[in-house]
Amino acid sequence: MSISEKRYWLIKSEPETFSFDDLEKKKTSVESWDGIRNYQARNYMRDDMRVGDLLLFYHSSCSVPAVMGIAEVVREAYPDYTAWDTKSSYYDPKSSKESPRWFMVDIKYKTRLKRPVTLTEIKATKALSEMLLVKKGQRLSIQPVSKKHFDTIVSLSTK
DNA sequence: GCCAACGTTGGC
DNA sequence: GCCAACGTTGGC
């Protein structure tokens, strides 16, 4: 695999907090993916996400959990400054400017799927049975996705 | 609102 | 380093 090869991810967001609509409205600007407070998810962002990687934007904790569209990484990991903000709900006294504990990337709207691909549908699709999303106990808010799974989701949305 | 399945914290 | 207690995620 070449260094520049694109990787694929799934990121979860609660639509009541930040929906794909919200991202789409900000089409021309970038959005900081802040507030990630899980080490494994942080490691994926910090160590493996590169500019140009594509992200399946998934709505979780809502009436119809589903992949809504695609976003793109436009800035690689840098310290999540909300961890230093005592007024932020993401404040973490253990993260300092000298030694930041949490990181974030910047993302940007890319495309909306022709229609949402629901969790129910993903579970019912044999080709997607190995996706982390549908693995038991898998709650990571940032997950690697294979190109094959990524392409399958996109093609499902056109049917 | 329930609860299973995690992850994190902190006493020992 | 163990593990109980606690907090969080997220589908249902």
Instruction: Write the pLDDT tens digit of every residue in A97-110.
Output: 888 999 999 999 99
Query: Which of the nucleotides lies closest to A119 (Cα–C1')?
Result: C11
CA A133 to C1' B5 (Å) is: 14
Return d(Cα A26, Cα A30) in angstroms, integer.
7
Q: How far is the CA of A149 from the CAs of A8, A49, A132, A139, in angstroms?
A: 9, 18, 10, 18
Cβ–Cβ under 8 Å, residues A60 and A13: yes
Please list the alpha-helical segments (H only) found in A36-146: 39-43, 119-124
Beta carbon of A116 within 7 Å of strand C?
no
The helix, strand and coil proportions of chain A, stated in percent and rounded to the nearest 5, come to: 25, 30, 45
**Buried residues in A20-43 as b, exposed as e (16+ CB within 10 A):** beebbeeeeebbebbbbbeeebbe
Cβ–Cβ under 8 Å, residues A65 and A119: yes
CA A15 to C1' B1 (Å) is: 20
Beta carbon of A159 within 7 Å of strand B?
no
Residues belonging to chain A: 159
Beta carbon of A120 within 7 Å of strand B?
no
Question: Which pLDDT tens digit goes with each residue over A13-54?
Answer: 999 999 999 999 977 778 999 999 999 999 999 999 999 999
Question: Which pLDDT tens digit goes with each residue over A98-146?
Answer: 889 999 999 999 999 999 999 999 999 999 999 999 998 889 999 999 9
pLDDT tier for residue A3 given thresholds of 50, 70 and 90: low
Query: Which of the nucleotides lies closest to A60 (Cα–C1')?
Result: C10
Q: Which two tokens stand for residue A70?
A: 């695609």
Which pLDDT value is given to residue A96?
Answer: 86
Query: Which of the nucleotides lies closest to A41 (Cα–C1')?
Result: B7
Question: Which pLDDT tens digit goes with each residue over A74-90?
Answer: 999 999 999 998 888 88
Residues 13-42 of A with CB under 7 A from strand C: 14, 37
State the pTM of this model.
Answer: 0.93
Beta carbon of A91 within 7 Å of strand B?
no
β-pairing, A8-13 vs A142-145, is antiparallel
Of A74, A51, A64, A57, nearest in space to A18 by CA: A57
Which pLDDT value is given to residue A1?
Answer: 55
